[in-house]
A = this chain, B = another copy of it.
Amino acid sequence: MTAHSFADRIAALDGPGGRLCVGIDPHPGILSDWGLPDTAEGATTLAQTVVHAAVAAGVTLVKPQIAFFERHGVGGMSALAQVIGQARSSGLIVIADAKRGDVGSTVAAYADAWLGVGSDFESDAMTAVAYQGVGSVEPLCEAALSAGKGLFVLVNTSNPDGWDIQQALVASGTTLAQHVFDGLVARQGASGLDGWMGCVVGATLQPQERAVQFPDPMPLWVLAPGFGYQGAQLSQLTTLFGGVSEKVIPTVSRSVCQDGPDGVVPAIVSHLRELQE
């Protein structure tokens, strides 16, 4: 890990407010609401507005949703590179929501793209998916460890469609979500370093709906999308996550954009207040 690794920087953030993560989602519906063209340029304008607002509101974590840039082709990926660079230059910690997954040298190539030092898309952390096995994320772990980056792997998502899969039972009798979670805990443990690995668990899941049980103490960060627009209340964070709350990274995305460009800072400030309730 480097001196200013993702693990060090996120550990230094103060409480759930300090860890509020603002999504950068240039969704076509929001571009339209804002009167922006549905182009790479429109996406750039929206993304830069969110980055500036995050800085102004005192937020440190941002999460660009890669799909909303990729849909604009080469120009969209160029916009993404620019936005990631500006965000990191502004002192923000960037979690690339890429949900990449593959095996062997292919997933290592995704690690180069998102966690590689000097890459156009170099971020501080990325999201990944492990349909091809928990071991398939190993090259991402190696890349994260060598470059001081973070890694968040999908475990239990909030869309009911996903439950059939995530609640399936593996050979040991645990759920698939638990199997992936335990595999991530084991990998972080084997690394001898804490604080660089996380899981993605939807915030709109009630505790009794979850296919994963969190140990105490909780070894992983929990990236929790679903607050705001999707319905989970930030003021309910402790109710939803109990003792694990201190490891939760609550994430808001579309709700910060719903009142136009001038409404982003007030929306973030309002979300920060909800976390203090």
Binding site for B on A (CB under 8 A): 27-29, 65, 67-68, 70-71, 73-78, 81, 99-107, 109-110, 112-113, 116, 119-121, 129-136, 154, 157, 159-171, 176, 179-180
Contact = CB atoms under 8 A, between A and B. Distances in A.
A116 B28 CA distance: 14
A265 to B, nearest CB: 24
A81 B70 contact: no
B129 A101 contact: yes
Nearest to A157: B132
Contact of A133 (B29, B136, B161): B161
Interface of A is mostly: helix
In this complex, which of A71, A75, A78, A103 has the most chain B Cβ atoms within 10 angstroms of its Cβ?
A: A71
A113 B159 contact: no
Q: Of A28, A100, A132, A176, which is in contact with the most chain B CB atoms at under 10 Å from its CB?
A: A132
B113 A133 contact: no
A208 to B, nearest CB: 17
Contact of A179 (B27, B104, B121, B165): B165
Nearest to A30: B105
A6 to B, nearest CB: 20
A105 B71 CA distance: 11
A159 B106 CA distance: 13
Given A65-B109, A67-B113, 13 more contacts: A27-B109, A67-B107, A67-B109, A70-B109, A99-B100, A101-B129, A131-B131, A132-B159, A133-B162, A133-B164, A133-B165, A134-B164, A165-B179
